């Protein structure tokens, strides 16, 4: 069989890339960190950009609003995610736990 006769299908892959679930976890962590560090007093309606150099994903965080839940400071937000899998929009919620660490409580596709 020559190369010209080979009709097998080859799928694209990213050299050195991470599995999709690992990429999403890494992106969620990057997004959570950006949301937790955002200065809401200076953030305008256009939101803020985020980039994860580890996965190559990027997007914009908008509609960040802060609220209290059982004494914890929380932030709701909407985020776009551009990755090798396409563009998606998510609704997220992160809270400050024990006054030290921000944890993602919700991250669902819209």
Residue 31 domain-assigned (yes or no): yes
**Which two structure tokens, joined as six digits, stand for 104?**
């993602």
Which of the 8 DSSP states describes residue 42? T
Residue 8 domain-assigned (yes or no): no
- Confirm if 55 and 70 have CB atoms less than 8 A apart: no
CA distance 7 to 55: 32
Tens digits of residue pLDDT in 77-87: 999 999 988 99
- Confirm if 32 and 104 have CB atoms less than 8 A apart: yes
Domain extent, residue 64, equals: 20-109
Residue 13 domain-assigned (yes or no): no
Residue 7 domain-assigned (yes or no): no
How many domains in the chain?
Answer: 1
Tens digits of residue pLDDT in 28-45: 999 999 999 999 888 877
Residue 3 domain-assigned (yes or no): no
Q: Is the pTM of the predicted complex or chain greater than 0.85?
A: no
Residue 11 domain-assigned (yes or no): no
């Amino acid at each position: 069989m020559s190369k010209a006769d080979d009709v097998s299908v080859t799928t694209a892959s990213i050299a050195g890339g991470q599995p999709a679930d690992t990429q999403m976890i890494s992106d969620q962590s990057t997004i959570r960190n950006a949301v937790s560090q955002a200065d809401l007093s200076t953030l305008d309606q256009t939101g803020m950009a985020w980039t994860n150099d580890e996965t190559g994903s990027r997007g914009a965080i908008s509609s960040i609003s802060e609220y209290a839940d059982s004494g914890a400071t929380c932030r709701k937000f909407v985020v776009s995610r551009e990755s090798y899998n396409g563009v998606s929009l998510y609704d997220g919620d992160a809270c400050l736990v024990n006054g030290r660490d921000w944890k993602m409580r919700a991250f669902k596709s819209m």
